[in-house]
Structures are given as C-alpha cells and as structure tokens.
Structure 1
Amino acid sequence: MSERYNIESLTFPVSPQFAEELHKKMVSFIGNFKGKGVPRRIIGGHSVVFRNVVDDEVWSLNIRNPKGYPLKELCMQILTNARANELDESKYMAVLSTLEE
C-alpha cells in the first residue's frame, strides 16, 4: 500500500535566474490560490501537489483533477523535457512572464 505514496525524484541543473523566477511564481501561486466554483464529488482521477520552501516553512497546495492551471502545465512540460534532456529555459521564462502573480 505504501508504494502508492512513493514520490519520484528527478534532479537536473537550471540557471539561478530560472530557479529564482520559478520560485517566485510558485510562492505567489500557492499563496494566492483561490478554489472557485462548487466542488464536485471526485472519484478517482489524479492530483497535483505544489510545494515550495519559503523562509523556514514548506508551503503546499494539493489540487485534485487540475484542469487549465498554466503553472501545472508548465511544470509537466519541464519534467517531460528534463527526462528527454531537452530543457529550454528561455521558453519556460517566456511562459512564466505571462502568468499573473
């Protein structure tokens, strides 16, 4: 049963500028998240967990069956590209610059 909760880790180098911008957007996203609409009964599906260290705290946001969250889509793209050794930080920075804080 505990296998369901094993978290896969993937480590890859990024520039300090990209790391800083992604951190800033993630903190803003978690801190300002508003769940809108009437929650529906969810059976099955998947969830996305965003975590970020802010000072000496770990901030976390868990979204069940996320649809249309641009930061989730960007993170999934970064992971897909990292696994294929095809990172393109300039593309990710362009996406980050369009996200609202």
Structure 2
Amino acid sequence: MAERSWPRAVAARPPLLLAVLASLAAGALLEVERAEDFEREVFSSKHVWAVGFVNSQRPNDAFEAVLAKLPDLVPAVRWGRLDVTVSGNSPIASELNVRP
C-alpha cells in the first residue's frame, strides 16, 4: 500500500473533509476566573479543551485576538482563557507548569 502525505490524503477525500467540517457545532470561550471553575469545567469534562493561558500584567493583544476568534473557527473544541496572574488561578497554573 502506497503511503500518502496528509494533504494529498485529505485532498483525495473532499466529501469526508466537508462532512467533518459540517459536523462542528457553535463554540464559546470560557473565561476562567477561579481554579475551582477550571477544575469543574475542564478537568472533569469528557470534552476536548484548548486553554489559552494569559498574563494580564503583560498583555499580548495579538494572542488575545486570535484566542477570541478560535471558538468560531474550531467549534468542536471547547475553549478556555485563564489568567495566570489571578491569585485564585495559581493552583491550576502551578499544576500545569505554567508560569506568569
């Protein structure tokens, strides 16, 4: 069996790709304000999560702009935003080895 690169394999099956894209549902961005919320919503979830860790003391407007658009672009994934400088989020940031 000949090995195909990923782009060619996808290009060979456009109906499959369209079906995957069509199956995505509307997404939203969860603003995490407390470690307990993160544990309840993310750690105990059976869904796929992508979380943007931000530092409000050193804002990155480009990253924030992209993070705000991602839920609409990839709605099958649940999105979160966690500010590592908020004292209540320290346990989560520490557990995930994210430093402010």
TM class by shorter chain equals: under 0.3
Q: Which has the higher contact order (CA 8 A, sep 6+)?
A: 2
Larger radius of gyration: 2
User: TM-score normalised to the size of structure 2?
Assistant: 0.27
